[in-house]
Amino acid sequence: MEIGYYPGCSLEGTAKEFDKSLKEVLKVLDVNLKEIEDWSCCGASSAHSAGNTLAVALPARNLKLADDQGLKEIVAPCAACFNRLVTAKHELKFDESMRIKVEKLLEEKTSFNADIYNILQLFQKIGMEKIKENVKINLKNLKVACYYGCLLVRPNDIIQFDDTENPLSMEEIVMASGAQPVNWNFKTECCGASLSIVHTGIVEKLSKQIMDNAILHKADIIAVACPMCHSNLDMRQLNIKKDYPGHKEIPVVYISELVGLALGIDPAKLGLNSHFIDPMKVLNSAITEEAAI
Amino acid sequence: MKIGVFVCYCGENIGRTVDCAAVAKELSAYPGVAHAEAYKYMCSDPGQNLIKQAIKEKNLDAVVVGSCSPHMHEKTFRKACASAGVNPYMVEIANLREHCSWIHDDIPSATAKAIDLVRIAVEKVKYNEPLQTIQVPVTKRALVIGGGIAGIQSALDIANAGFPVVLVEKEPSIGGHMSQLSETFPTLDCSQCILTPRMVEVYQHSNITLLTYSEVEKVEGFIGNFKVTVRKKARSVKDEVCTGCGLCVQNCPIKKKAQSEFDESLTTRPAIYVPFPQAVPNIPVIDRSVCTYYKTGKCQMCKKVCGREAIDFDQQDTFLTFDIGAIIAATGYKLYKIDKKPEGHIYKGYGEYGYGELKDVIDGLQFERIASASGPTSGEILRPSDKKEPKKVVFVQCVGSRDESKGFSYCSKICCMYTAKHAMLYKHKVHDGEAYVFYMDIRSNGKGYDEFVRRAIEEDGVKYIRGRVSKIYEENGKYIVKGEDTIAGVRMEIDADMVVLATAMIPQPENSKVAQLLGIPYDKHGFMQEVHPKLRPVETSTGGIFLAGACHSPRDIPESVSMASAAAAKAMVLFGSDILEREPVVAKVEASTCAGCFYCQKVCAYSAIERKEIRDRQGNLIKVVAYVNAGLCQGCGTCNATCPSKSVELIGFRDEQIFAEIQSLSGF
Amino acid sequence: MSQHNYDPILQEIIEITGKDPAKCYQCGKCSAGCPIRDYEDVPPNRVIRYIQLGMYDKALSSSTIWMCAGCLTCSSRCPNDFEPAKLMDALRQIAIKKNIQPADKKVQKFHRAFLDQIKANGRSYELGLVAEYKLLTGALMQDVDVAPTMFLKGKIGILPNRIKNKDKVRKIFKNFEEEGK
C-alpha cells in the first residue's frame, strides 16, 4: 500500500520519535510513505487566531500539492495538522465565498480531492489482522491508557471519526498489538495544548490531572497519537515532578512506538530513548521472558 | 336567474380601501343582478335580515356576498339564505378583505379589483346547482387506542354517557406510565391509589370492551363509519378461565432472563408474568422470546401448576372487527434513552453523561420505581449498583430537551415539576441527604406548581444550581458531575452517589405507525398533529379522529385528563345525531368517459377513490372505473386536476363555473 | 439568522463565526466543561452574554479569548450548535484589528512569533519561535530547563528547515495582510 505523507513541523523536530517509529512500523506492515514535496506548515492554532482565510489558505496549499503530486490519500500523524487539513478541505468544499478568498491569498486555484487520514485511521486501513499477524513481542501484561486529546475526535461533524465522548479506535489498535487498554475517564480531556509555552503552569496542572486519572485506573503507560499531547505529558512531566512532589511518574509513548514494540522493532530505532520520561523500565518489566513469541 | 349582490364594508376593514357603495352601484346594473346593496356589517343580524328581506321581496334565486374570507362567514350566509328559502349552495362569497382591501392601499384600483371579484362571483353563481348535503349514518361506538390515564378518561366519559367503547391497549395491563409513578405533583398523592379505582371501573364497565395485549391492525372507512380490525395478541393464557391466582408466575423457573419493563429494567421478571400486582386485567402473559417451552419444547411448569387449565401454548393471535363511529388516539409517550445510537441514526445519545452505561445514572421513571413502595427497593432510596443509600443525589434537567444539537428542540414540560418532586421525595426519605438540581429555567405554570417548587427549595433544602452539566463520569463509586452556576459565575463540581437525568418526553415509537393507520398527520418528532393549534387542539384533519394526552405533545396528568375529556366530548358530539351531514362539495366521476387509469386514486390523500365495476345487463364486465366515496372525499380537487380525460368534476367548482370566472375576468 | 444590519461588530462576528450569538441561551454547559475555567477571568458563557448585550469592550478585554486552548469541548457539547471556540477566535481577530490591548499579551505574542517563523521559513522553527517569543515577552527563562535535553535528543534543529518555495508561503501572508486592510 502507498500513501501520501504530511509529517507536519513537529514530526521533524520535537516529535521526531513519532516520525521514526511510524516509518519503522510501516516498513514491517508493507506501507510505503510518499512525503509531499515541499510541504509547508498547516498553521496549527496560531493561524486560526489570526484570521479564518489564513487558517484555510495554509493547509490549502498542501492539499493542492498533494493533488498535483498525484497523492489520492494522505496521512497526517499530528492531530492538529490532521484537524486543520480536514477542516480546510471542508471549508473549501462547502463554503464558496471562503474558497474564492483563499484562492486570492494563494494566487492560484485550490484543489482538495485527497482523503486525509490520521494515524489511527491509517492503522484501521491497514487492518487489525495485519498488525496481529506481525506481532512478535507479547505485551499482554502492559496496561495502556489511550489518550486521544482534543483534535482527533472534535469537531465530530467535520472530522467524522470515532466518538467524541468515548472513542475506542486506539484501544482497538492497542489490543491488536497484544497490550491491554484500560477503561479511564480522561480520554479526551484537554492537556492545555498550545498554551504549553505561554502558560506552562496551566498545562502542568491539566496534564497532571490526566496522568493521575490514568494511574488511578491502573495504567502502566499512556499512549498518544499527537505530538502536542506527547510534549505536554512527557516533556513537561519533568517539571510536574518538581512542582508537584509526590507525583507518580508515568511514561508516555506514541501509538506507533507501541505498535513498533509489539512488532519486535528495536526500541532505539523507534526513538524510545528520546523521551523525557524513560519508558523502557515499565516496558521491559511488562515484557516477560516467555513473552517473545 | 335573479341574483342578489350584497357588499359588506366590514366596518373599516373593507370600507377603508374599497368604495363599497360604488361596487354595489356598478353591480346593480349588471346582467342577472336583480338587487345590489352595501352595508356596514353584513354578518350581523340586521345585515343578514337585509339579505333575507331582499330574497323575499325580489324573489332571488342566488346570492353573492362581497365580504371577508369564506372561512369566516360562508356558513353564516348560507344559513341565512337557507332560512329565507334559497338553497345554501346557491351562495357565493367574493373575498374583498383578505384578497383585496387588506393587501392594497390605492382606493381606485382596490375598488376596481373588488368590482371584478364580485362580478366573477356573479358569473360563477349562474352555473351553481342547488346541492343537498350528503347524509351518512353514524355508528355510535367509540374506539380508544391506548389505555393510559388519557385513554382511560376518554373511555369512561363516553361509556358513562351510555355509548359503547372499545379500549385497545398494547401492554398486558392498562394504566400506562401513571401506574409506574410513586407520587404525583403537586399534591404528592400516591399515583396508583388514585389510578387503580379508574382502572377497575374500566374493567367492570358494561359499556367498555377492554382489549389488552392488543393492537389496532387496520382502519378503514370514514367519520361515523369506520371499520376497525384489532389484533388480540396471544397471551398463551385463556383469559376466560384464568382467575389471576399467580401460581404460574411464582413457579416459573426463568426468573432472571427478562428485564422488567414495568420496573424500567431495574429488576427482572419471569417468562410468564403480570406486569404489576394491581394490573388490570390480572391475567398473566407469556413472553415467548424468553420462555423455555418456545425455545426448546421443555418445561411446562406453569401449565403443571395451573388449576384451571388456563395455559395454552398453542394460542394464536386473533382478529376482531368493530364498527366504530369515532376514534380517539391516546397512545402516550416514552422517555428518551441516552444510549449511543447506531451509525446514521438521527439522534446521537449523550456520551458526556455516560451513554446509559453508568449504573447509578438513571432516568426519571427509574427514580419513580425506586421511590415507589411497590418498587424494587420497596420505596427506600437505594442506588442500583450496590443498593446503598445515596447521600448526595444530583438531578439534571433538560437532558435531550431544548437541545437542537443532540436531542429535541422542544421543552418536555413536566421535568421541572417532577424533578422538584423527586428531590423532595428523596429529602423526605433521606433526611441527611443532599439534593442538587441543575436547571436552565423552572417551568412550573400549573395551579400550585410554582409554590410546589419553592417548597422544595425553601422547606426541603434542595439546592438549585442554574446551569447545565457538561460531563458526568464515575470515579471509585462516585459520580463526578461537572457543572456551572451561571448566576454566580462559578464552576460547580459535585461528587454524587447517584444522578437522576430528566430525559426528554418523546412519542411512543409506534405513534407514527398508528398515525399512518389512522391517516392523520404527525410532526417530525412523531407527535400526532392537531388541526388547529389554538381553537381545535383535540381534533385531527381527519374527521372523526381525535387526540388525547401525550401522543400529541408533552403534558402532565391534569392536562392529559382534560384533553381526554375534550376528545370524548368531540366524539359524543358525533354520537349526538343519528345522521351526519357532510358537505356536498365533493368530487364526482363521470363513468362514461372514465378510462380507468386510476391516476386520481394515486393522488388522493384521503383514500376516497374506489374501483367500481360497470357491467352490462348480462353481467359481463365492461370496464372498471373510478368512483368517489363521498363520505371520505374532502373536496380538495386534486383528482379533478389530475384526470387526463376530464372525467372527474368537483361539485361546486365545476369546470363551467371556473371557466365562467376566468372568462369574465379576462374580458373574453 | 436575525437581521443585525445596524451593528457592524455583531455583523462581523456573525460573518467570521458563521453563527449568531442570539442562539446561545446561556445554559453554561460550555463554561462547565472548559478546561481553562479556573484560569480565565470571564467564563465562556459570560463572554457570549457580553456580546449579546452589546458590551463588546468587556468581551474583547477579557483574558478568556486569549487563553482559550481551542480544545472544542464547548463547541462539541453546546445544545444549540453554537461554537464558543470559534467566537473566541473571532474576538481575537477583532481585538487585533481594533488594536485593543490583549488582557493576556503573552498568548498573542506567542501566536505572532509562531506565524513569523512560518512566514520566514515555510515551516515552524522551534529555536526561532522560542527566541522571538522570549524577545517579545521578556520571558527569558522560559524553557531554559528543557532546552539542553531537547538539543541532546536531537529534537531541535539548530538551523531552520527552509522549504524551497518559501516565497509562495510569504506571498500567502502578504496577501492576507492586504486583505485585512
Average model confidence (pLDDT) for chain B? 95
Same domain, yes or no: A48 and A182: no
Binary contact (B405, C38; C-beta < 8 A): no
Q: Where are the beta strands (DSSP E) in B561-620?
A: 579-582, 587-589, 609-615
Last residue of a domain, one of B468, B484, B506: B506
Confidence band (pLDDT; 50, 70, 90) for B257? confident
Each residue of C147-165: pLDDT tens digit? 777 777 777 777 777 888 8
Predicted confidence (pLDDT) at residue B42 exceeds the cutoff of 90: yes
Q: Is C32 on the interface with B (CB under 8 A)?
A: yes
Can you give the residue range of the structural domain that contains A171?
127-291
Predicted confidence (pLDDT) at residue B229 exceeds the cutoff of 70: yes
Same domain, yes or no: B360 and B437: yes
Find the CATH number of the domain harbouring B478: 3.50.50.60
Q: Tell me if C47 is assigned to some domain.
A: yes
Query: How many domains would you assign to chain C?
Result: 2
Same domain, yes or no: B570 and B603: no
Q: In what order do the strands lie in the sheet with B214-222?
A: B214-222, B225-232, B318-324
Cα C52-C53-C54 angle, rounded to 5 deg: 95
Which of B402, B440, B484 lies at the smallest CB-CB distance from C31? B484
Q: What integer pLDDT is reported at residue C3 of this predicted model?
A: 57
Binary contact (B475, A164; C-beta < 8 A): no
Same domain, yes or no: A99 and A14: yes
Each residue of A248-276: pLDDT tens digit? 999 999 999 999 999 999 999 999 988 99
Each residue of B100-113: pLDDT tens digit? 999 999 999 999 99
Chain C residues whose beta carbon lies within 8 Å of the beta carbon of residue B403: 79-80
Q: Is B52 on the interface with C (CB under 8 A)?
A: no
Q: What integer pLDDT is reported at residue B369 of this predicted model?
A: 97
Confidence band (pLDDT; 50, 70, 90) for C142? confident
Find the CATH number of the domain harbouring A32: 1.20.1050.140
Binary contact (A40, C122; C-beta < 8 A): yes
Same domain, yes or no: C68 and C114: no
Higher pLDDT, A188 or B630: A188
Same domain, yes or no: C27 and C86: yes
Q: Tell me if B656 is assigned to some domain.
A: no
Binary contact (A53, C176; C-beta < 8 A): yes
Region C65-69: what's the mean pLDDT?
93
Runs of H (alpha helix) within B406-539: 415-429, 449-458, 511-518
Same domain, yes or no: C131 and C147: yes
Same domain, yes or no: B410 and B310: no
d(CA B475, CA B481): 11
Last residue of a domain, one of C47, C70, C97: C97
Which of C36, C76, C155 lies at the smallest CB-CB distance from A16? C155
Region A105-124: what's the mean pLDDT?
95
Same domain, yes or no: A114 and A188: no
Chain A residues whose beta carbon lies within 8 Å of the beta carbon of residue B476: 216
Predicted confidence (pLDDT) at residue B445 exceeds the cutoff of 70: yes
Confidence band (pLDDT; 50, 70, 90) for C112? confident
Percent share of chain C, pLDDT over 90: 50
Last residue of a domain, one of B66, B100, B131: B131
Chains contacting A (3 or more CB pairs within 8 Å):
B, C
Same domain, yes or no: B56 and B201: no
Handedness of CA A11, A16, A20, A22 (dihedral sign): negative
Enter the ipTM.
Answer: 0.91
Query: Is B94:B64 a contact under the CB 8 Å cutoff?
Result: yes
Q: Is B473 on the interface with A (CB under 8 A)?
A: yes
Q: What integer pLDDT is reported at residue A288 of this predicted model?
A: 66
Cross-strand bridge partners of residue B558: none
Q: Tell me if B532 is assigned to some domain.
A: no
Same domain, yes or no: B303 and B389: no
Least CA distance to A161: which residue of chain B? B343
Higher pLDDT, B407 or B453: B453
Confidence band (pLDDT; 50, 70, 90) for C5? low
Region A208-215: what's the mean pLDDT?
96
Last residue of a domain, one of C29, C62, C97: C97
Region A51-59: what's the mean pLDDT?
93
Q: Is B261 on the interface with A (CB under 8 A)?
A: no
Last residue of a domain, one of C54, C74, C97: C97
Same domain, yes or no: B458 and B339: yes
Can you give the residue range of the structural domain that contains C32?
8-97
d(CA B569, CA A250): 72
Same domain, yes or no: C144 and C164: yes
Region B116-124: what's the mean pLDDT?
96
Helix axes C44-52, C84-97, angle to 10 degrees: 60
Q: Is C71 on the interface with B (CB under 8 A)?
A: no
Last residue of a domain, one of A119, A145, A162: A119
Can you give the residue range of the structural domain that contains B125?
3-131
Same domain, yes or no: A72 and A44: yes
Predicted confidence (pLDDT) at residue A148 exceeds the cutoff of 80: yes
Interface test with A, best of C118, C140, C142, C171 (most A CBs within 10 A): C118
Q: Is A38 on the interface with B (CB under 8 A)?
A: no
Query: How many domains would you assign to chain A?
Result: 2
Binary contact (A197, C35; C-beta < 8 A): no
Same domain, yes or no: C136 and C156: yes
Chain C segment 144-163 residues within 8 A of B by beta carbon are: none
Cross-strand bridge partners of residue B437: B395, B464
Region C75-98: what's the mean pLDDT?
93
Same domain, yes or no: C92 and C112: no
Chain C residues whose beta carbon lies within 8 Å of the beta carbon of residue A151: 72
Find the CATH number of the domain harbouring A221: 3.40.50.11810
Chain A residues whose beta carbon lies within 8 Å of the beta carbon of residue B350: 165
Q: What integer pLDDT is reported at residue A14 of this predicted model?
A: 85
Residues 6+ apart with CB under 8 A from B209: B164, B165, B166, B167
Query: How many domains would you assign to chain B?
Result: 4
Last residue of a domain, one of A119, A144, A178: A119
CB pairs under 8 A between A and B: 17
Same domain, yes or no: A179 and A213: yes
Please state the three-class secondary structure of B220-243 as a single string.
EEECCEEEEEEEECCCCECCCCCC
Each residue of B523-547: pLDDT tens digit? 999 999 999 999 999 999 888 999 9
Helix (H) or strand (E) holding B503: strand B498-503
Q: Tell me if B205 is assigned to some domain.
A: yes
Same domain, yes or no: C137 and C169: yes
Q: What integer pLDDT is reported at residue C107 of this predicted model?
A: 87
Region C10-38: what's the mean pLDDT?
95
d(CA A95, CA C18): 11
Same domain, yes or no: A111 and A9: yes
Interface test with C, best of A106, A186, A198, A236 (most C CBs within 10 A): A198
Q: Is B402 on the interface with C (CB under 8 A)?
A: yes
Binary contact (B406, C29; C-beta < 8 A): no
Q: What integer pLDDT is reported at residue C2 of this predicted model?
A: 56
Residues 6+ apart with CB under 8 A from C177: none
Q: What integer pLDDT is reported at residue B632 of this predicted model?
A: 81
Report residue A131 as a C-alpha cell: 498488525
Q: What is the distance in angstroms between the Cα of A222 and the nearest Cα belonging to chain B?
A: 18
Query: Is A83:A58 a contact under the CB 8 Å cutoff?
Result: no
Report residue B368 as a C-alpha cell: 419513580
Same domain, yes or no: C123 and C161: yes
Region A225-242: what's the mean pLDDT?
92
Binary contact (C179, A101; C-beta < 8 A): yes
Last residue of a domain, one of A86, A119, A152: A119
**B220-244: string of b/e by CB count within 10 Å (b at 16+)?**
ebbbbbbebebbbbbbbbebeebee
Same domain, yes or no: A77 and A138: no
Interface test with B, best of A153, A157, A166 (most B CBs within 10 A): A166
d(CA B647, CA B144): 39
Same domain, yes or no: B177 and B80: no
Same domain, yes or no: B104 and B166: no
Average model confidence (pLDDT) for chain A? 93
Same domain, yes or no: B12 and B42: yes
Q: What is the distance in angstroms between the Cα of A292 and the nearest Cα belonging to chain C?
A: 29
Same domain, yes or no: B289 and B174: yes
Same domain, yes or no: C175 and C137: yes
Residues 6+ apart with CB under 8 A from A140: A178, A179, A180, A291
Q: Is A216 on the interface with B (CB under 8 A)?
A: yes
Chain B residues whose beta carbon lies within 8 Å of the beta carbon of residue C79: 398, 402-407, 468
Predicted confidence (pLDDT) at residue C25 exceeds the cutoff of 60: yes
Find the CATH number of the domain harbouring B612: 3.30.70.20
Least CA distance to C154: which residue of chain A? A13
Chain C residues whose beta carbon lies within 8 Å of the beta carbon of residue A41: 118, 122-124, 169
Same domain, yes or no: C82 and C13: yes
Least CA distance to C75: which residue of chain B? B405
Same domain, yes or no: C72 and C114: no
Chains contacting B (3 or more CB pairs within 8 Å):
A, C
Confidence band (pLDDT; 50, 70, 90) for A291? low
Q: What integer pLDDT is reported at residue C149 of this predicted model?
A: 76
Binary contact (A163, B351; C-beta < 8 A): yes
Q: What integer pLDDT is reported at residue B488 of this predicted model?
A: 95
Predicted confidence (pLDDT) at residue A292 exceeds the cutoff of 60: no
Q: Is A289 on the interface with B (CB under 8 A)?
A: no
Percent share of chain B, pLDDT over 70: 100
Least CA distance to A188: which residue of chain B? B352
Query: Cis (ω within 30 of 0) for the bond into C44?
Result: no
Least CA distance to B407: which residue of chain C? C79
Last residue of a domain, one of B575, B607, B624: B575
Same domain, yes or no: B266 and B301: yes
Binary contact (C43, B489; C-beta < 8 A): yes
Amino acid at C120: A
Same domain, yes or no: A279 and A175: yes
Same domain, yes or no: A273 and A193: yes
Q: What is the distance in angstroms between the Cα of C161 and the nearest Cα belonging to chain A?
A: 9
Least CA distance to C127: which residue of chain A? A13
Least CA distance to A163: which residue of chain B? B351
Each residue of B306-362: pLDDT tens digit? 999 999 999 999 999 999 999 999 999 999 999 999 888 888 899 999 999 999 999
Same domain, yes or no: A201 and A286: yes
Q: Tell me if B538 is assigned to some domain.
A: no
Chain A residues whose beta carbon lies within 8 Å of the beta carbon of residue B480: 185
Percent share of chain B, pLDDT over 90: 93
Query: Is A280:A221 a contact under the CB 8 Å cutoff?
Result: no
Binary contact (B471, C33; C-beta < 8 A): yes
Q: Give the lowest-confidence range in A88-92, B605-609, C41-45, C139-143.
A: C139-143
Binary contact (A154, C106; C-beta < 8 A): no
Same domain, yes or no: C85 and C156: no
